[in-house]
Structure 1
Amino acid sequence: MRRLAVSTAGGLAAALALTGCSGSDGSGSGPGPGKAELTVGSSYMPQPVSADMAAGFLTITNNGGTGDELTSVTSDAAGQVTMHSTMGGAMTEKPSFSIPAHGRLVFKSGGNHLMFEKLKRAPKQGQTVAVKLTFAKSGPLTVEMPVKSATYNPSTGH
């Protein structure tokens, strides 16, 4: 019985490994040099201290061979979501952000960030906020952004 379980687990692992090798076009090469391969991580929203505005942070990683561009962000939790950069203490709204091939776009406190304006409800710590990211070349991604404490620091986890 134990041998069967090990054999079945090994077979499953091999099947999953083979599945991961084939690209959607059947070439077996994955995204290749001509496509972006975007993933999102480290997303969070500090619990807003204002009734009508909140900030959001995340990292978009591009493991593909070509760059892409984040062109808009929307959320049912807000009337609008705008993208901003902060340089030398000055905040500037941006229409888009580039995501380089084999690179990252980081939204963090004190730097690039999202502004959720005209909040429709006040997100509370422990809840999540759905955020739709739209790109120039890739399909949209929807992220469930957890709401953390107003003083949350991702480097310490508190």
Structure 2
Amino acid sequence: MSYLRAAVTGLTLVIPIPAAASDTITISDAYARFIPGGMAGAGFMVIENSGADDDRLTSVASDVAKKVELHTHKAGTDGTMQMMHVQEGLAIPAGGSHALQSGGDHVMFMGLTERPTEGESVAVTLSFEKAGEVVVHMPVDNSR
């Protein structure tokens, strides 16, 4: 989650603010990781749906890579975990949330057009069936 800090007569107020939001969709704890010298990266976040209807994250886009997709991990026939594109998108239940996290569902950046470094921020557009587009700025944090 991002925080707004304001100094008021010697006191510091820390007010949490969501990384991005629509009328029903809120994004929190967003960050991205990029392998130094690599051509790929991954993005993670928690998506909350405060609406009365289920929604679906259908696609993602960013100028940081030639291809940006929703991915997940599934066990292959030989028992090893394989990463694969989730073409149908990710369901975000009404009144619920969906975490994109390491080892599970995530945003995959492939064919980087630039190499973001620690402390920089990556703009990502999330497209939802009902909520429309939500832009989130994901800080690069390779330590998580």
TM-score (norm 1): 0.69
Distance 2:71 2:133 in 1: 20
Q: 1:90 aligns with which of 70, 82, 91?
A: 82
Cα RMSD of the aligned pairs, angstroms, is: 1.4
Distance 2:114 2:97 in 1: 31
What is the identity, as a one-letter code, of the residue corresponding to 1:54? G
User: More relative contact order in 1 or in 2 (CA 8 Å, sep 6+)?
Assistant: 2
| Aligned residue number for residue 96 of structure 2 | 103
Tell me which protein shows more helix as a share of its residues.
1
- Identity rate of aligned residues, in percent? 37
Tell me which protein shows more strand as a share of its residues.
2
Q: 1:64 aligns with which of 51, 58, 61?
A: 51
Unaligned runs of 5+ in 2: 1-22, 76-80
Q: 1:78 aligns with which of 51, 65, 73?
A: 65
Kindly state the Cα deviation for residue 52 of structure 1 after the two structures are TM-superposed: 1.5
Q: 1:120 aligns with which of 113, 117, 124?
A: 113
Kindly state the Cα deviation for residue 139 of structure 1 after the two structures are TM-superposed: 1.9
Structure with higher Rg: it is 1
Q: Map 1:8-157 to 2 at 5 A.
A: 37-88=24-75, 89-95=81-87, 96-149=89-142, 152-153=143-144
Distance 1:116 1:41 in 2: 19
Distance 2:34 2:109 in 1: 12
Kindly state the Cα deviation for residue 80 of structure 1 after the two structures are TM-superposed: 1.4
Distance 2:43 2:90 in 1: 15
What is the identity, as a one-letter code, of the residue corresponding to 1:81? V
What is the identity, as a one-letter code, of the residue corresponding to 1:113? H
TM-score (norm 2): 0.76
CA contact (8 A) 2:34 2:40 kept: no
